[in-house]
Structure 1
Amino acid sequence: MEDMQEKEYSEKIDLSFWKNFLVYAKPYKKYFFILALVMVGVGAIDAIFPLMNGKAIDDFVMKGTTNGLKTFAIKYGLLVLIQAINAWFLISIAGRIETGMAYDIRKIGFEKLQVLSLSYYDNRAVGWLMARMTSDINRLSETLSWGLVDFVWGVTMMITIIVIMFSLNVKLALITLSVIPPLAIISVYFQQKILTAYRKVRKINSRITGAFNEDISGAKTTKTLVREEQNLEEFTNLTGEMRDSSVKAVIISSLYLPIILLLGSIGTSLALNFGGKSVLSNTLSYGTLVIFVNYTIQFFEPVRELAAIFAELQSAQASAERVFSLINEDLEIEDSIEVIEKYGDFMNPKKEDWPSINGEIEFKNVSFSYKNGEEVLENFNLHVNPGETIALVGETGSGKSTIVNLLCRFYEPTKGEILIDGVDYKKRPQVWLHENLGYVLQSPHLFSGTIKDNIKYGNLEASELDIIRASKLVNAHDFIVELHDGYDTEVGEGGNLLSTGQKQLISFARAVLRNPKIFVLDEATSSIDTETEKIIQDTIHKVLKGRTSFIIAHRLSTIKNADKILVIKKGQVIEVGTHHELLNKKGYYYRLYTNQFIREQEREILN
């Protein structure tokens, strides 16, 4: 799944990409500017220290005098104090930039995840997304903040050293710095190698995160199928691939840095060779030679840092490309500009301008195909009056869920149109429809927190009395008050501290609290026991009263009172009618209902 969705990116540092990224750094431009000034000071003072040491040798050691030493010591001490203050500033400001940018980008990414269509999640694992929202963003913000520190410091220090070296002795400066051209050639060669290696590492990291998520969430299935050994083998192979790719990336980077060290050593040897001869011939002072030797060592320290930044920047670009492929993902279902201007969007709704919903729904010649070309519906037509209950029956893959997903605008028709109260729902905002929608899934999802919190997700402005009323309406109040902490009972992760039936009733209460005009039940009774099913059947009867509703039915006993039952096969409606009308036809629905009724009777006798 991960490899299918992983995009391929440019094979070198893309400056235009980083230029576009500056939009996200704009809120921190003041801090970036201050940090740059601080690092200019740090780099310049670091470059001045060897010059001070050389002067001390020539003025005090070689002359054998202490005249002026006190003044020199005060100047040196002031530089040390300023450098200490600079260090405090750089750590403080760089840390603020790192945490602030990570927060902002993560917030933008999470906001994008809220508005992306369901189709985006169809072929992307949770771990695939988590890797982008966590480790990739951390890598990106860390490289940008601390990379700027090292970059400005290194460039400032190198420029200062070059200026001082040329001011002291042009010939010796040219000889010492002659190793820079081969250094530039080597850097260009290693750029592509390092970037490609780190991209592969980040790609495998996403797959590992996804595997972690699947193994943890599927722990019960693993136990029941005794798949521990196979899971371990698969995960070992994946982590082994990560290890090999990481080692390869590190080896490439580790080859680069020793070459820098070698060139630095050559520069030092050149300075000692030619500078030493000049000292012996009295054309160069001993202090100046010491300055040059120190500078040849010190000059390549920022070069090594810049090389490391270069490698980190390549790794960060791999992370950045992955993060912003998510943030810049095109919305498959998007409201038009005119609709957004009039009614708002998910993050900025203009509820005061929204029209009310009566609940009349019409599918007009609706066809739908997935991206892979698989056609699910063809010329589907249906008219639903306000307050009617429509049941959808059929085998798995017949198109029942597709009809409901199209109604909810989780997907949009590839042909035809869907009207709500006589208006194409594309002329209304998605959030308008979703605000008027109550949806109960076959496997209800509860969030970590209390029962009260989970019910209140349906309407954050609801009072405690509203929550109790909704719970009573769906027959959930009695079991809730019997729990140790009542409505303040913790449900656990995913609601795992409650039974399936209890979770289902809470999800009903959550949906009812919204007071939706349109209700959807997606096989809401297929995973519960018979006793709980009877409670939920009573709940359904009360909840759906006066609301337009769609029921995807697995247990046909739940849809006896539906106004219209659609029997669907391979995307086509093969039978339509009420429960009694379809039984009288003695067709597909009759056989389906009869077989299910017999099985249920056998089960009751056995019990």
Structure 2
Amino acid sequence: MTQENNNQDKIQINIWKDFFKYLKPYKLEFGILALMMICLGILDSVFPLMTKYAIDNFIEKNTLAGIEKFGFVYFSAVIALSLTVYLFISLAGKLETKMAYDIRRIGFEKLQLLPLSYYDDKAVGWLMARMTSDIGRLSETISWSLVDLAWGFSMMTAVTIAMIKLNFKLALITLSVIPILAVISFYFQKKILKAQRDVRKINSKITAAYNEDIQGAKTTKTLVREDINLQEFSEITTSMRDKSIRATVISSVYLPIILTLGSIGTALALNYGGKGVLLGAISYGTLVAFISYTAQFYEPVRQIAVIFAELQAAQASAERVFSLLNEVPAIIDSGEVKEKYGDLLNPKRELWPEIKGAIEFKNVSFSYKTGETILDNFNLKVKSGETIALVGETGSGKSTIVNLFCRFYEPTSGEILIDGINYKDMPQNWIHENLGYVLQAPHLFSGTIKENIKYGNLNATDEEIIAASKLVDAHSFIMDTEKGYDTEVGEGGGLLSTGQKQLISFARAVVRNPRLFVLDEATSSIDTETEKIIQDAIHKVLDGRTSFVIAHRLSTIRNADRILVIRNGKIEEAGNHKELIKKKGYYYNLYTNQFIEEKSMDVLG
């Protein structure tokens, strides 16, 4: 799993600049929210002045003259305050939902565009945490907390102005604790941010652990790993508990300090203000207003402290979300290619040349990010319609050759030509839309058999789906199911056998009518009877198509036009089945050993 940068200990402006790019569609909504919060702050600051007016004019003078007008103004202010709060809650809630939706949509789109190499070191839980909890935390904090900041600062400004207007000297005394508060806040923001980063990081590990344990439930049972898995998971959750407690403790220490400083400010107002009342320097109404203002001033300070802590957590989430959204794909089409032929999401198919299927690897070298070299100056020419089988030990480079051919990866150096065209001069879709790919472990999506086959070609008719199924000999077993093509396959195809899933995935590839075909160990996980069915289908399907076949069972590739023995990224032997048997080299030994093993198994029943 990829490691995260956890070394920064302050607010990262660049992170928030990135985020504000995604807020452009909501500029108006945010403007309205900010305006509401400013109005709310000003309205809140009006009530102590009205209290002062009531004390000085009604209580001190012992008269009710003008109270009707005062009551109307006071009641109007309450109505305005209530309406503003209602509109704020309504708009902020909608904004939170819309932002989460948009960022998740953009994130999902990004995942579709990233090449396979991106997923090499990314656990599913790592990605899921970003798409769910991290985005949720981010949108919630932005839609509520940032606008709360507008309220807090506007209210503090309004209260400060009102206090200075009422009594400049008392205002300075009351606000004298602000510099101390600023220093303490600066210190705690570093601690809170680091703690929140640790919490979000471990949250990914927990999500990944859930995912792995659920997907590997059968392996867990067969290896009797329940207690070990529980112990490993307990270690992660214990770490999550400890880190969460630490983050909570830091925040809980910070807030009482803020409240204490606020209380000191209130005490200063009472002490010096009380003396002023006794000396007749200020009115009793002014003292009551000051006490109210000190409480009002430090309430947004306390709220800002809470928001500040939330922003630390939100930044930890933002860093993780934007590490995904800002990921630069390892494989990208050039600007010239996009302009001429379109991109992955907006292709200009009418301009694409038709693929005939002649392939050439020209001085191709390839190394993974780790620096491990798999292919070095590899050369291969494949005629249109030719079937090439790749044989060799695990790690010899067979899958790398196929992945490069499919442009799931690109050569470190050298060229791959399709019909004489360097495939980097064409959009990625040009190959992928002409490619049929059948994996060793087929993946089916939740839905019906028909939907899974049609996934290969969304424009396929029922007749084409049935024709593809018949071509791979899947039609008979499909019709034996209760609902035929409308039978549900379950999550991941769990309601079907491995052989049935493989036949459906084969039909899904065939219904595309691709010019290029790849079979990656397509018969290694199925029974002998189903293998024979698929072998017959392979001969029909690959006819006239350029294809690469990676095979563990060598009986599958006897009819290949050429068999390449790959060792250490190089072609050690090449020829058809008969030619390689005559050479009595690596392929001969591999084939005869496997043949003897299979016959022995047949004899033993």
Q: What is the aligned counterpart of 1:358 among 356, 359, 372?
A: 356
Q: Tell me the number of residue pairs that the alignment of Structure 1 and Structure 2 aligns.
A: 605
The amino acid that maps onto 2:245 is: V
d(CA) in 2 for partners of 1:7 and 1:122? 19
Q: Tell me, what secondary structure is at the counterpart of 1:470?
A: helix
Kept after mapping to 2: 8 A contact 1:9/1:321: no
Match runs of 1:68-107 below 5 Å: 68-107=66-105
d(CA) in 2 for partners of 1:66 and 1:476? 93
Q: Which runs of 5+ in 2 are unaligned?
A: none
Q: What's the counterpart of residue 489 of structure 2?
A: 491
Q: What's the counterpart of residue 137 of structure 2?
A: 139
1:280 has 2:287 as partner: no
d(CA) in 2 for partners of 1:114 and 1:414? 23
Q: What is the aligned counterpart of 2:128 among 127, 130, 138?
A: 130
Match runs of 1:369-518 below 5 Å: 369-518=367-516
1:229 has 2:227 as partner: yes
1:62 has 2:60 as partner: yes
d(CA) in 1 for partners of 2:252 and 2:245? 10
* Distance of aligned partners of 1:16 and 1:576 in 2 relative to their CA distance in 1, 3 Å threshold: closer
Kept after mapping to 2: 8 A contact 1:106/1:137: yes
Q: TM-score, normalised by structure 2?
A: 0.98
1:27 has 2:25 as partner: yes
d(CA) in 2 for partners of 1:172 and 1:423? 81
**CA RMSD between the two structures:** 1.1
Q: What's the counterpart of residue 246 of structure 2?
A: 248
Q: Deviations over 1:343-388 (max 9, x none)?
A: 1111111111111000000111212111212111122211111111
Q: Tell me, what secondary structure is at the counterpart of 1:149?
A: helix
Q: What's the counterpart of residue 346 of structure 2?
A: 348
Kept after mapping to 1: 8 A contact 2:6/2:197: no
Percent of aligned pairs with the same amino acid = 68
Q: What is the aligned counterpart of 1:333 among 331, 342, 362?
A: 331
Kept after mapping to 2: 8 A contact 1:201/1:245: yes
Q: What's the counterpart of residue 549 of structure 2?
A: 551
Kept after mapping to 1: 8 A contact 2:15/2:318: no
Kept after mapping to 1: 8 A contact 2:384/2:546: yes
d(CA) in 2 for partners of 1:267 and 1:502? 75
Q: What is the aligned counterpart of 2:153 among 136, 152, 155?
A: 155
d(CA) in 1 for partners of 2:6 and 2:275? 56
d(CA) in 1 for partners of 2:14 and 2:393? 52
| Cα displacement (A) at 1:16 | 3.5
Q: Tell me, what secondary structure is at the counterpart of 2:390?
A: strand
The amino acid that maps onto 2:561 is: D
Q: Deviations over 1:155-187 (max 9, x none)?
A: 111111111111111111111111111111111
Q: What is the aligned counterpart of 1:567 among 554, 565, 568?
A: 565
Q: What is the aligned counterpart of 2:111 among 110, 113, 131?
A: 113
| Cα displacement (A) at 1:457 | 1.0
Q: What is the aligned counterpart of 2:214 among 213, 216, 239?
A: 216
Kept after mapping to 2: 8 A contact 1:90/1:149: no
| Cα displacement (A) at 1:52 | 1.4
d(CA) in 1 for partners of 2:503 and 2:85? 59
1:289 has 2:287 as partner: yes
Q: Tell me, what secondary structure is at the counterpart of 2:22?
A: helix
d(CA) in 1 for partners of 2:371 and 2:153? 55
| Cα displacement (A) at 1:221 | 0.5
d(CA) in 2 for partners of 1:60 and 1:454? 79
| Cα displacement (A) at 1:8 | 4.0
| Cα displacement (A) at 1:54 | 2.2
Q: Tell me, what secondary structure is at the counterpart of 2:8?
A: coil
Moved more, 370-379 or 119-128: 370-379
Q: Tell me, what secondary structure is at the counterpart of 1:252?
A: helix
Q: Tell me, what secondary structure is at the counterpart of 2:293?
A: helix
Q: Deviations over 1:378-425 (max 9, x none)?
A: 222111111111000111111111110010011111122111001111
The structure 1 segments of at least 4 consecutive aligned residues displaced by more than 6 Å after TM superposition are: none
Q: Tell me, what secondary structure is at the counterpart of 1:67?
A: coil
Q: TM-score, normalised by structure 1?
A: 0.98
Q: Tell me, what secondary structure is at the counterpart of 2:457?
A: coil
The amino acid that maps onto 1:45 is: L
| Cα displacement (A) at 1:9 | 5.6
| Cα displacement (A) at 1:118 | 0.8
| Cα displacement (A) at 1:453 | 1.1
Q: Tell me, what secondary structure is at the counterpart of 2:23?
A: helix
Q: Which runs of 5+ in 1 are unaligned?
A: none
| Cα displacement (A) at 1:321 | 1.1
Kept after mapping to 2: 8 A contact 1:567/1:574: yes
Q: What's the counterpart of residue 178 of structure 1?
A: 176
The amino acid that maps onto 1:558 is: T
Q: Tell me, what secondary structure is at the counterpart of 1:368?
A: strand
Q: What's the counterpart of residue 239 of structure 1?
A: 237
Q: What's the counterpart of residue 186 of structure 2?
A: 188
